[in-house]
Amino acid sequence: MSLPATTSPAYPAPPAGTLRAARLMRALGPAASAVWSELEPDDADRLSQAMTQTAGEPRSPASDAEKFLSAIRQHNEDTAGTRTIWSALGEVEPSAIASVLGCEHPQLIAVVLSRLPAGKAAQTVRILPRDLATEALKRIMTLGRVRPETMALIETAMQDLLTARRSQGAGDGVENVARIFDQMDPRIEQGLMDSLDETEPGSAARIRALMFTFEDLADLDAAAIQTILSSIDRADLAIALKGAKPAVRQAFLDNMTKRAGEMLTAEIEAAGPVRRSEIESARREIIAIARTLARRGDILSDEDEMDELIE
């Protein structure tokens, strides 16, 4: 039986928002290291104290989720509309949620994350660009009870975003399949591509033309690479570059200081053998972040540049 969390006599009980952020950071685990480096010292101290004081809480996903949601589920939750939008978001893949939230204000992102189960919120935070994720987490720390009228506006906005996403997705099935393959293990990908080509000749070529792979990052310009570097976890990059083509590794090293490049190279070598599944997972996270940045207009792909030249 787990002991209840206790509050250290040296510190006052943390605010509810800080406790929510602490539970989310615990759910993030090692992936939270990138967020810690961006926090102000005072915020980091408060969050660290809150994590210490919640250390005795159960770590099960159901328990984390219930505690994570309890403080702001005080308004009109029995209405059918509320259940619909949040249950819909709960069934959406984290990469899709991050794609929708990537262009939104950090305050809206904070509210949405605080409504999701901690596990899904943590997965979404990992995919969001680091600066946006950090700002949203800061706002969760100070997030109080959301006014019903404000929440109604947020729910309407999220419903509109999801509706627009569904409408956009329904218009191009090939692009939807390409996005699925972007997130797929390459060992499975080829077999499925062959099967699709057997039933629908030429489909594999159309899908591959729309896919964005880790190797494609080498084709981005220096500004785009630097923006990606500022938005990803360097530990993930070190894993992702294991066994990568020389051009991909060099694309990142060319956009880092000599010292940072040496440290990254040393980290790659020090990692030793790494499971292929871990490498592919790290690459998928970086690709998802790159897509979010492109959707926000923070980076420009080769196709975007060509479109501008034609115009």
Start-end ranges of CATH 1.10.220.30 in the chain?
16-170, 213-310
CATH 1.10.220.30 assigned to 16-170: yes
CATH architecture of 173-211: Up-down Bundle (1.20)
- pLDDT tens across the length of the chain (311 residues): 333 343 444 455 666 667 777 777 776 666 566 566 667 777 777 777 777 776 666 554 434 434 444 433 433 443 444 446 777 777 777 877 887 787 778 888 888 888 887 778 888 888 888 888 888 888 888 777 777 877 887 777 777 766 766 555 544 566 667 767 766 666 677 777 777 778 778 777 777 766 778 888 998 999 999 999 998 888 999 999 999 999 999 999 999 999 999 999 999 999 889 998 889 888 888 888 888 888 777 886 554 443 443 34
Q: What span, in angstroms and rounded, lies between the C-alpha atoms of 51 and 72?
A: 20
User: What is the number of helices (H) and of strands (E) in the chain?
Assistant: 19, 0
Start-end ranges of CATH 1.20.5 in the chain?
173-211
Q: Which residues contact 40 (CB under 8 A, 6 or more apart)?
A: none
What own/partner pairs with CB < 8 Å and gap ≥ 24 does 152-155 have? Answer: 152/76, 154/108, 154/111, 154/112, 155/81, 155/82, 155/85, 155/86
CATH 3.10.20.30 assigned to 213-310: no
Structure tokens at 230: 């500022």
